[in-house]
A and B are shown apart, each in its own frame.
Chain A
Amino acid sequence: MTQQADTPQDTEKDTGQPAAPARAAAPAPRPGRFDAVRRRLPKSTFARHALAALGGLVVVFLVLELTNPFRNSQFATMSYYAIAAVGLTTLTGLNGQISLGHGALMAVGAYTTGLLLGPDADGAALPLPIVMLVAMAVTAVVGVVVGAAAARLHGPYLAGATLALAVALPGLAIYFDEWLGGEQGLRIAAPRPPDWFSDAVYFLSANETPGVKYLAYVGWITLLVVLLLMANLKRGRVGRVWQAVRDDEVAAELAGIRLGRTRVIAFVVSAACAGLAGAVLAVVVRLAAPSGFTIVLSLSLLTAVVLGGLGSFTGALLGSALLVFLTPTVTNLGTSLGLDATAAAEVAPFVYGVVLVLVMLLAPAGAVGVLRKLWHRTRGNHPGSSTRRSA
């Protein structure tokens, strides 16, 4: 084996003894352009991530207050896709487990929410946050069962098992039709904004808070909380161990990591996200029905995650935005270019498919992968020299 002397660092040659003098030949870590900013950030991980989440909240507030109700409802839709996608990117990107069953896990969250809230707005006994937490917990329990099975499976077998989940679980709703509403599903009353919430929004923006905007707030605040907690996991010991198991099982095991337990935990965390996403979906769509949780939903989530860039939360957000906004944008573009409404609507899935194929061909690392490469090029760094991958 020859030495591959292709980077300037290779000139380094030291004795391997403690305190090797020749180490001076190694370059000092490159002072980054943003080091000054980085030094001012709080030391505590929680404070840093909470600060980012607060910044996100301000952006969400501005966007939702400045856009019309139609856009608000689109953002509400995007929020539940994004919550599920963040959970899936954690599982697939960080831990290397593929899941084609996340749509079914969302169904568990949505049906739990439907059963707890009921069709009558005034009859709801529990406050919305409690309902969402229960939906999350129930889905997490399902996640334990599925995850325990999944931890023993790899690659195509895992894909097959989770695919079976996606196909079978909505069928339960039809089987237990008295309880779960059969094909018609469960109608769900849209929760009304509490007075303190409308008052707070009115105080800040002098706008009323109609139901649609309230649900968009519910979805996005949930998303921000999920992002905050997931960023904590990713940056900490848990995320590092997940990635170690993904990259090299044998080496991870020799470091004392229990592979099965690690995989199950990753699956449960991801399932909990899917359950929350299902809860948000239930109140936004006001319906939990089998037709809403077909295999198409699971596949859309996976494509969103891959398009954005596996393992990246920014990528998950980009991918969900694409899911929600690409079709109407292309349809509008089509009609303004002179196509009739049907033809324009038919072009949209085609464009989506082309985008997918192009990304796979030209940027297999997804949108965030491309951005990262550009970023390193502008900084003149070696691509492998990133200090941290972006959240």
Chain B
Amino acid sequence: MELRPVTVPLGKATDATTDDQAAVFGVAGVSVRFGGLVALDDVSFSVGPGQVRGVIGPNGAGKTTLFNVCCGFVRPDTGTVLRHGRPVRGLRPHRLAGMGIARTLQGVGLFAGLTVLENVMVGAERHARAGFASTLFALSRSDRDERALRERAERALAELGVESYAARLPGSLPYPVQKRVSLARALAGAPDLLLLDEPASGLGADEMAELGELIRSLTARMSVVLVEHHMDLVMSVCDRITVLDFGRVVADGTPDEVRDDPAVIDAYLGEEATHS
């Protein structure tokens, strides 16, 4: 964990430009309206190399919409997505992987008809080189390419400790294992930015602790943006946290700063604290 940026831009798009030169990824001044509903209002955040950025907020705060903007599923009305400080034009979901960005889905989103190994091989698609013709005629180029993809996939499965399930169909596996497989699929593409959408949902306390360790261990290779409900996990793994409420950034800072911020306690933690 040698890479820790000292300064991280806060809040508004205007002051983000200079600091974003160091940032791997971010959004600046993003607003999204669905009809009359303002889902996101002038939201900015960024994540530096090897950093873990948490995005939290009560239900309906706009976390998922923000993720969908980051992935190109939702086009913002104003604002831009920034990659290495430069705005990304015409972001489409299928271009994301090629940009070195992987995203996991809420739930698991595994391909039910493919084996675990094949699922993870799809995750490594951006490294696939065999074209249609070489697959059609099963040229040796296609075999070589398949072998390389399989090795990538096997490495990713081994890293998450689920390589013994490689030949199984995902539907027959327990939920925590499926979660690991979907994470392995995201890692197989060797991204330098990982977008995790509620990775802890459906996990027990032990598994969540393991997940936290895993995310920290990933920062040696990539930056992570994490949308999550579980405060323990967010507070323990994130370097910086963005707190959303009604589509607006109400706080941005280190876990300690955010924890003590009255606006956050008002919007989120107070509600949470009474529950737990």
Contacts and interface: CB of A to CB of B under 8 A. Distances in A.
Mutual binders A and B: yes
Interface of A: 1-7, 9-10, 12-18, 20, 23, 26-29, 43-46, 49, 229, 232-233, 235-238, 240-241, 243-244, 246-248, 250-259, 265, 311, 382-388
B71 to A, nearest CB: 7
Given A229-B137, A236-B146, A250 B109 contact: yes
B192 to A, nearest CB: 15
B111 to A, nearest CB: 4
- Counting chain B CB atoms within 10 Å of each CB, the highest count among A23, A26, A240, A247 belongs to A240
Top-3 shortest CB links A-B: A384-B172, A256-B97, A1-B202
A15 B93 contact: no
A240 B142 contact: no
A309 B130 CA distance: 29
30 contacts: A1-B201, A3-B175, A3-B204, A6-B174, A7-B172, A16-B161, A18-B217, A20-B161, A26-B164, A27-B164, A44-B138, A44-B140, A45-B138, A45-B143, A49-B138, A232-B135, A233-B136, A236-B146, A237-B128, A237-B149, A240-B121, A243-B111, A243-B114, A244-B114, A244-B122, A247-B110, A252-B122, A254-B94, A384-B171, A386-B169
Contact of B135 (A26, A233, A243, A387): A233
Given A16-B180, A247-B112, A387-B167, 11 more contacts: A3-B174, A17-B214, A44-B140, A45-B142, A237-B135, A238-B135, A244-B122, A254-B93, A257-B94, A257-B125, A382-B172
Interface of B: 71, 73, 93-98, 102-103, 105, 109-115, 118, 121-123, 125-126, 128, 130, 132, 135-140, 142-143, 145-146, 149, 158-161, 164-169, 171-177, 180, 185, 189, 201-204, 206, 210-211, 213-214, 217
A334 B262 CA distance: 86
A386 B96 CA distance: 32
Contacts of B122: 240-241, 244, 251-252, 255, 257
Nearest to B145: A237
Nearest to A256: B97
B142 A16 contact: no
B136 A5 contact: no
A288 to B, nearest CB: 28
Nearest to A43: B143
Contacts of A248: 109-112
A3 B174 CA distance: 7
Given A232-B136, A250-B109, A256 B121 contact: no
A5 B176 CA distance: 10
Contacts of B73: 250
Contact of B105 (A3, A6, A251): A251
Contacts of A243: 111, 113-114, 118
A15 B130 contact: no
A236 B130 contact: yes
- Counting chain B CB atoms within 10 Å of each CB, the highest count among A3, A6, A13, A258 belongs to A3
Contacts of B132: 238, 265
Contacts of A244: 111, 114, 122
B111 A237 contact: no
A386 B180 CA distance: 20
Contact of B93 (A6, A246, A250): A250
Nearest to B71: A254
